[in-house]
Amino acid sequence: MSKRELSHGTGELPDYLVEILSDLPLNVDRRNGAVQVSRYLFPVSYRTLEAWPLPARHVNGKAIIPTRKLFEVAYAKLNAAPIVMGGRRVGPVRRIEPA
């Protein structure tokens, strides 16, 4: 995935997201967009969306974002996130000697 795809979200969406987009409105404000991304991809706040490279139109004091573009950027970020293995490290067992 190129840097441009990551920053601008020009990658393709999987079929299940395209199907979901058909049921969503064409444009959303940041609050509703954050709710939709949190529902279908990963948790995000509307304040975080302010920093994402999304085209917005300001109508009646609200930033209106194309839903498809929002999902493209979010999906690109999800794919770019590294996979981290969890769990505890198993270290040497320490014994406390009685004094």
Q: What is the pLDDT of residues 68-93, one digit of tens each?
A: 999 999 999 999 999 988 887 777 77
pTM of the predicted structure, to 2 decimals: 0.76
pLDDT on residue 11 = 61
Percentage of the chain lying above the pLDDT 70 cut: 87
Residue ranges of the domains in the chain? 3-80
Residues of the chain with pLDDT > 90, as a percent, come to: 72
Cα angle: 43, vertex 21, 46; to 5 degrees: 30
Q: If you ran DSSP here, which 8-state letter would residue 12 be given?
A: P
Residue-wise DSSP of 34-83: HHHHHHHT----HHHHTTS----EEETTEEEEEHHHHHHHHHHHHHHSPP
Query: Of all helices (H) and strands (E), which one includes residue 28?
Result: strand 27-29
Do residues 10 and 77 make contact, with C-beta atoms less than 8 angstroms apart?
no
Residue range 49-73, pLDDT digits in tens: 999 999 999 999 999 999 999 999 9
